Structure 1
Amino acid sequence: MIMQIAIGWLAYSDGLLADGVHTLADLAADGMVLAVLRLSATAAHRSVNDQYDRYETIGSLLISFLLIATGMETLWSSLGHVASAATTSSVHASALVVAVFVIVAKEALFRYIMSVAKRTRSTLLVASAWHARSDAISALIAAVGILGCMAGLVISDRLAAAIIGIMIARMGFNLGWKAFKDSFDRPASETAGQ
């Protein structure tokens, strides 16, 4: 995350900088996931399944709000800079190297978290894994924007940042909607089973 933000700023890449901010939001979300998993484990030891489900739902909703806020801020910031794209310096090649590194690292993280999620049957870890996959995709978009900028289409990097912002906000909305629906579907299914 520090490398993405620092190199994005030094290499004049809004796309890589937006991806770094996305990674910062992920770091906060991962901290929240760990806290919720700790609370869930405590509730599971006490055999309180309702609390376990409630913690997972609350954690998923908090992550979704964080993603929506991050995506909207990224979109707003990148659109604000589009007008000045013609006067901005070209993106440096170091931004492309970092973006490619992030693509590989985030895809590996997705595969690892998903394998743990399947083994533990944790919906929260599944959400976190897909979040890591979205990071790999956003890094790919940043890399395409950087390549376009290096090829002479200066605005492509700023448009990549806007696309990343939309993608982050959309993922947050989808995650929040699913958690919201699941919280209402759960009591109905438990009642039907009795």
Structure 2
Amino acid sequence: MPSPSERPRQSRGSAFKAAYVSAMLNAALMAMQIVIGLFAHSDGLVADGIHTLSDLAADGVVIAVLFLGAATASGRRAAPRDGSFPASLASLFIGVLLIGTAGDMLWHCIGPAAILTVSATVRASALIVALFVMFAKEALFRYMRAEAHRTHSSILLASAWHARLDAFSALVATLGIIGSMAGLPMLDHVAAGVIGLMILRMGYSNCWTALKDLSTRPLGNTAGQ
């Protein structure tokens, strides 16, 4: 049984492991979604792949925040009284990233290129990948939520719920692909737009929460007294 002094180190190690697992899985899923989405003529799957790309960037921010926390602990520096300051900055960065991603995605859905891609027939491989991504994201959510509760990591818990939303967006992509294969190719394009709106809403929520938290925080708490 670990001693009280070893428990924080083990918790940080478990949090790092969960963040790395999320990053590696998102990298693999992103490549699969975009490549197969382009090959199978599925706008919905490509849009979900772009969403996963933003998730990969968010994983990088999570790892960076955990690394800074570990460096502070190992250096025996006094931790800030409000340790959520780095998490707030990370949440703000992720929100801006998501808004930019959503804007590009929605432009693709309503821009000139949209008319040319509606007539393409979605192939069955897109449906297989979308279903796989949906179950993989749900499994990732359950794993990261358990690790977040075990390590008491708020940023890991936020990342876990992000994975749950990803599973829902994969479901939207799946329904769009099924509709396209059933003879309604516009539904796959609509699914891409819906995913874009979901990402936009999530980005706005992240930014609003982070800005509200940062604006109400005394400046002295950000300096790591």
Identify whether the pair has TM-score above 0.5, normalized to the shorter chain: yes
* Separation of aligned partners in 2, 1:180 and 1:118: 25
Q: Which residue of 2 aligns with 1:10?
A: 39
* 1:19-66 deviations in Å (ceiling 9; x for gaps): 011111111110111011111232345231247322111111111111
Q: Which residue of 2 aligns with 1:84?
A: 116
Moved over 4 A (4+): none
TM-score of the two chains, using structure 2 as the length reference: 0.77
Number of aligned positions between the proteins: 188
Against the structure 1 CA distance between its residues 160 and 121, is the aligned structure 2 distance closer, same or farther, given a 3 Å change threshold? Answer: same
Match of 2:153 among 122, 130, 135: 122
* Separation of aligned partners in 2, 1:76 and 1:94: 26
* Separation of aligned partners in 2, 1:154 and 1:54: 46
Amino acid corresponding to residue 135 of structure 1 in structure 2: D
Amino acid corresponding to residue 62 of structure 2 in structure 1: V
Alignment of 1:105-184 (within 5 A): 105-184=136-215
Amino acid corresponding to residue 115 of structure 2 in structure 1: A
Runs of 5+ unmatched residues, structure 2: 1-29
Q: Which residue of 2 aligns with 1:102?
A: 133
Q: If each structure's helix is expressed as a fraction of its own residues, which one has the higher value?
A: 1
* 1:139-170 deviations in Å (ceiling 9; x for gaps): 10000000000011110001000000010111
Runs of 5+ unmatched residues, structure 1: none
- Confirm or deny: 8 A CA contact 2:108 2:114 kept in the other structure: no
Identity within the alignment, %:
53
* Separation of aligned partners in 1, 2:84 and 2:172: 35
Alignment of 1:65-80 (within 5 A): 65-80=96-111
TM-score of the two chains, using structure 1 as the length reference: 0.89
